[in-house]
Structure 1
Amino acid sequence: MARRAAAAVLACYSTSFGAATRLLPARERADIRALYAVVRIADEIVDSAAGLAGFDAAAALDSYEAAVRAAAGEPFHTDPVLHAFAATARRCRFTDEQLAAFFAAMRADLPAAAESPAAAGEPGAAGTAPAAFTRAGLARYIHGSAEVVGEMCVHVFLAGPPTGPRAQETLAGARRLGAAFQKVNFLRDLRHDRHVLGRDYVPWVTDGASKSEFVAEIRAGLDAARASLPELPARARLAVSAAIGLYGELTDRLDAATWDEVTGGRIRVPGPVKARVLARTLTRRS
């Protein structure tokens, strides 16, 4: 039941990532879903719930962080997603440093974070709309919100942290991939982030030319991640290849879109195109 609850969270939020996870073996697939569900719930606290009248998002995030970071040490949780995550955290040996970095990034998304440029994400001063991140602040934010999640995915694929002479290269590739995925989402969600959530993760992306430069960063990250694929087990390599293909397709569409199209809505990949990308991945494997 707990594993199914985590799977339901992923299915509700991400068709692209969800499709790639279906290529994993059952155990790894369940672990990735549990990790994703916890990450998504934390994200919802700062994105959706933070706007509810009378809701203390900061306190809720503190409480959820404490529960997540302590989860592996408890044999049973009444929250099914947390129960699934606890088993995953034990089996895959997530570190407290990874979880702390993730929640530090989430805290930078809280509305109160905009009151001080010295906050973890360094958004702009109070009263600015939207709150803009500096490049240094964004790098710290991406580390916690995406790079350490990439590291934890490697822990899932290998049932623990990587070992051997290429361990650091494997982790570096995972961090680059997590960052690239996050940057794709920054562009896809540009309008919503700036005009609904009041955040500007990439204030220097203001027109077609700067968009193209940002897309080049994304492509470099995807290429670096692709180069590290041989270090992963075969089935994990297949799933990650599929995810890179799907996000590569999104990147191509963002690159081809006009600035008005990017700022006017969310660029998507149609279902039939996703199916073709997945089919190509499977064909190359065979």
Structure 2
Amino acid sequence: MKRPTAGAGGRVHHDNQTSLSLYDETAQAAAAAVLDKYSTSFGAGTRLLGRHMRTHIRSIYAMVRVADEIVDTYRGEDARAMLDGFEHEVHAALDSAFSANLVAHAFALSARQVGIGRDLTEPFFASMRRDLDTTKHTQASFDRYVYGSAEVIGEMCLAVFLNTQTGPRELPAQVREGARRLGAAYQKVNFLRDLAMDDGELGRSYFPGVTAANLDDAMLATLVDDCRADIRAAEACLPALPRRARIGVTTTVDIYSRLLRRIERIPAQKLCSTRIRVANPIKAAYAFRNACPGISATRRVA
């Protein structure tokens, strides 16, 4: 039997290239299914992207979601070993461009095409490991956690938006900072939405000094203002994105800004027992408005 030989970039040349392409497509379809099942907010924005960008964002989301499910949903005694094993699969796929794990394979395909490396994936997995044993954060540990769990994800998405057509290249520093701020904002909004579950079911307190028991209206207002400042900083960088990417990101910004306004209006202690949502028809309306610039409508900024 003829053995396949390694080609440029670690990719393997097969006699049957159709089979390898089919495997790539299957992995990407698996990643798309993960996003479709788990997130209507990001799904709404992703559907507005061009085909290749959409595929890359779905693959990033799927990788992040699998790691998150290990630490938040599975939580078995071997969760750390399982997370370490998944990280190894992701990094091995980055090196070899192939993985038996479909999600790792899909992520590696996208990462190699747009220039996502271990400088972003390693901080992400480090933050995921902190969820296995950190229950309360100092400001310093909170900042490190948010960087790895959210800011690097924003930078991964920016690499997709700016490098899908060109291939890997260095990202502009100012726009990269905006992407990180947006990732941080989304993470913090999710912390507020999930405060009751994090504090009760998972026994975690993300915001330093804030728990479901002591959250008051003044604390909540401060946290909302912090999220809003991140979103505004990120919005200033939106003009640097390609049009389709700008439309998609703007839609997710609109959704999270609406979440933030609803969180702002609810009494702090009620927030601790209620998970705020944005209805799917409203998400669809944001997507439609942003995709159709001729429609007369005024966006509400964060």
**Partner secondary structure for residue 218 of structure 2:** helix
Look up the match of 1:89.
Answer: 111
| Higher mean displacement: 237-246 or 199-208 | 199-208
TM-score (norm 2): 0.83
Do the aligned residues in 2 keep the contact of 1:238 with 1:285 (CA within 8 Å)? Answer: no
* Structure 1 residue 12 corresponds to structure 2 residue 37: yes
2:229 and 2:293 map into 1 onto residues whose CA distance is 22
Shift of 1:271: 1.8
Look up the match of 2:159.
Answer: 155
In structure 1, give the amino acid aligned to 2:197: H
Shift of 1:70: 2.1
Look up the match of 1:124.
Answer: none
**Partner secondary structure for residue 137 of structure 1:** helix
Shift of 1:162: 5.6
**Partner secondary structure for residue 268 of structure 1:** coil
* Structure 1 residue 273 corresponds to structure 2 residue 282: yes
Look up the match of 2:205.
Answer: 200
Shift of 1:270: 1.2
Look up the match of 2:136.
Answer: 132
Look up the match of 1:3.
Answer: 28
Shift of 1:218: 0.6
2:63 and 2:290 map into 1 onto residues whose CA distance is 28
Shift of 1:233: 1.0
Do the aligned residues in 1 keep the contact of 2:181 with 2:234 (CA within 8 Å)? Answer: yes
* Structure 1 residue 24 corresponds to structure 2 residue 33: no
In structure 2, give the amino acid aligned to 1:142: V
Look up the match of 2:187.
Answer: 182
Shift of 1:285: 7.0
1:186 and 1:251 map into 2 onto residues whose CA distance is 11
Corresponding residue pairs, total: 263
Residues 161-186 of structure 1 show CA distances to partners (whole Å, capped at 9, x for unaligned) of 6647xx10010000000000000000
In structure 2, give the amino acid aligned to 1:202: F
Look up the match of 2:63.
Answer: 38
Q: Which of the two has higher C-alpha Rg?
A: 2
In structure 1, give the amino acid aligned to 2:32: A
Shift of 1:28: 0.6
Look up the match of 1:71.
Answer: 93
**Partner secondary structure for residue 132 of structure 1:** coil
Shift of 1:77: 2.0
Gaps of 5+ in 1: 115-130
Shift of 1:272: 2.2
1:200 and 1:141 map into 2 onto residues whose CA distance is 12
**Partner secondary structure for residue 239 of structure 2:** helix
Where do residues 88-127 of structure 1 align in structure 2 (5 Å cutoff)? 88-110=110-132, 113-114=133-134
TM-score (norm 1): 0.88
In structure 2, give the amino acid aligned to 1:23: L
* Root mean square deviation of aligned Cα: 1.6
2:85 and 2:217 map into 1 onto residues whose CA distance is 41
Do the aligned residues in 1 keep the contact of 2:251 with 2:290 (CA within 8 Å)? Answer: yes
Do the aligned residues in 1 keep the contact of 2:48 with 2:287 (CA within 8 Å)? Answer: no
Look up the match of 1:117.
Answer: none
Gaps of 5+ in 2: 1-25, 296-302
Look up the match of 2:227.
Answer: 218
Residues 54-92 of structure 1 show CA distances to partners (whole Å, capped at 9, x for unaligned) of x41111111111111221222332222122111111101
Do the aligned residues in 2 keep the contact of 1:148 with 1:175 (CA within 8 Å)? Answer: yes
1:233 and 1:274 map into 2 onto residues whose CA distance is 21
Shift of 1:281: 1.9
Do the aligned residues in 2 keep the contact of 1:6 with 1:34 (CA within 8 Å)? Answer: yes
Do the aligned residues in 2 keep the contact of 1:154 with 1:161 (CA within 8 Å)? Answer: no
Look up the match of 2:250.
Answer: 241
1:88 and 1:285 map into 2 onto residues whose CA distance is 33
Do the aligned residues in 1 keep the contact of 2:89 with 2:101 (CA within 8 Å)? Answer: no
